[in-house]
Structures are given as structure tokens and as C-alpha cells.
Chains A and B, each alone.
Chain A
């Protein structure tokens, strides 16, 4: 039987979008509770929140999840609306670089803070 297969991708990114949403859904309430337990927060107390290594790591993973989620969503929008391949590839690259830079920046902020 002659079979015509799909591109065999699309599922991976779709799953990653859901997985990253789960990471964010777990981190945000947990961090809100953690921050609330140190209220009232001034600037120094806010900085001190990020001193433990586990908070740094969790926040960095959260940043990665948020950026991955945003990039997959953006890719969906570009696939829907931007049909000129050259323009779409250029936008992938621009936003890919931008989001990668945001991730490195987030790491620098977290480890630079305390």
C-alpha cells in the first residue's frame, strides 16, 4: 500500500507547549505562597527570596518554560499568518535569538543578585 506520511513533527512542539504550561502552573502559585510567607517585602527581602539555590534553579526553569511557551505560540501565529517563507524564517530567527537572549539574561540576573 502506498502511504503518504505527514512531516512527523508538530506533535513534539504541541506537547512541549502543554508541558511548559504545567511548569508555569506549578511554579507561579508555589512562588506566590513562598513570597507571601516573607511579607511585607522590601527590596532587600525581595532579593533575599532568590538567594537559595533551589529558588534560583526553579525560577530559571520557569523562565525557560515561559520563553519556550511563548516561542511555540509565536511559531503558531507565524505559521497561520506569515506565508512568505523568507519573512517567516527571518522572524523565527529574530524571535529565537531574542528569547535565547532573555533566557541568558534571566540567568545573569538570578545569579548576579545574591
Chain B
């Protein structure tokens, strides 16, 4: 099995390069992460992140044959060889496949991804009806792997100013939460030509999301609420 992996160590390399590897691995039932671990055994200088190896932690978001995906749940079978593995696009590379996600987390923090409710805390918990709880389905499952945001052309062109699909999905997750009281402030924050309106409905985010979520739909719902509020 042939792989071509992006290698770059900013401390010693003037330029990034692609390095070819051959690993003896039966592809059946194996994932891209298995191939990376096999490479690591022959060349321990290769750096990449991984943790849960079952698509839950979101650590190993990578660009695999040009498409962002989690290495641990992307089957090797059916991938064109050599399999090209690069870091997530448009973020600074720390080393090899490890990127600096600071910008991604700044956008996440900016949407205040927590419940804002100024009422006195109840004895036990803030209750929701089953219908109100259902509103959060398709939103709360995001694992912040950054696959969507780094595959979004609008993020590529304005990474500092456009919040990106992951942060906007989370913004809508708290806007639509029946227990949250800061909807107006959240909408105020988003009503901006850059933060929200750089989204042109390209839908790369929907295509690559490893959890099958739909940030474009969430962004559409935010726009709908903005229109409802304005008119």
C-alpha cells in the first residue's frame, strides 16, 4: 500500500515536502489511521494527532486524497493510491500533520458556546419539553474536529473574520436552546457581513462532516431568524 504524506518541520525544513511510504497492510476493514500508525512504526519522526480512534474525539482530522475526514473512520478500501495525506488546509502547520487550531477555537469561543440564563438556578435542573430538546438534534453532536471549517472556501479567504461552519453551527445550537436567554445578543453578534454573511452556501461543510451534520442548514436558520427579527 502506497501513501504520500506531507512532511514539514518548521525548525529544520525550508519547504514542506511529500514523502512516499509503502506499508504492508491488508486494507480490508482497516482505516487510514491504521496506515499512519504502520508508517509511524517505520519512521517515528512523523507527527500526527490521534486519540480515541473511533471518530469521537475529533483529533485526527486530515486532508485525505483532497477531502477532509477523520483518519480513524475513513476506510482504506476504495481510496486511490498513493493515498495523499495532508494537514487540514488553511491553518498554520506546527509539524507534519499537526496544525495550529487557535484560530478555529477563537471563532468557537466568540459565539459563547454555553448556556446564558440569568434566572436564579433551579433546585435541580432547567427542564425542556421533548420537542424543545429535539431542536438540539443535529447540533449538539459536533466534535469540533475542524474538518468542515477548514474545507470551507469562505474560511480560506477570510479566516480571521468569517466564523466558519463549526462555530456557526454551535451559535445556532445555543440560539435555538429553549433555556438560553441571550438570543438577541447572539443574533446581534452574528448580524455582520463577515461573521455570518461570508457563507455562500457552498456546502463543503455538509459534504465532509464526519458526524453527518448540516451547518449550512443551521446558518440558513440563523438568517431566517435575522429576517424575522428585522421585518
Contacts and interface: CB of A to CB of B under 8 A. Distances in A.
A4 B189 contact: yes
Nearest to B182: A1
A3 B195 contact: no
Nearest to B153: A80
A80 B199 CA distance: 10
Nearest to A81: B157
A44 interface: no
Contacts of B223: 11, 14
A10 B197 contact: yes
Interface in A1-36: 1, 3-15
Interface string B177-198: 0000010010011111111111
B162 to A, nearest CB: 9
A6 B189 contact: yes
B189 A5 contact: yes
Contacts of B194: 7, 10, 79
B226 interface: yes
A8 B188 contact: yes
A3 B193 contact: no
Nearest to A6: B192
A3 B188 contact: yes
Contact of A80 (B192, B195, B198): B198
Given A3-B185, A3-B188, A5-B188, A79 B198 contact: yes
Contacts of A5: 185, 188-189, 191
Contacts of B227: 11, 15
Interface size for chain B: under 10, 10 to 19, 20 to 34, or 35 or more residues? 20 to 34
Contacts of A76: 200
Interface in A45-96: 76, 79-81
A81 B118 CA distance: 42
A94 B10 CA distance: 43
B185 A6 contact: no
Contacts of A6: 188-192, 195-196
Contacts of A8: 188, 191-192
Contacts of A81: 157
A9 B198 contact: no
A79 B118 CA distance: 38
Interface in B169-217: 182, 185, 188-198, 200
A11 B157 contact: no
22 contacts: A1-B116, A1-B182, A3-B185, A3-B188, A4-B189, A5-B191, A6-B191, A6-B195, A7-B192, A7-B193, A10-B191, A10-B196, A10-B197, A11-B226, A14-B197, A76-B200, A79-B158, A79-B193, A79-B198, A80-B158, A80-B198, A81-B157
Instruction: Report the 7 A-B pairs with minimum CB-CB distance, sorted nearest first.
Output: A6-B192, A10-B193, A10-B197, A5-B188, A6-B191, A80-B157, A3-B185
Interface of B: 116, 118, 154, 157-158, 182, 185, 188-198, 200, 223, 226-227, 230
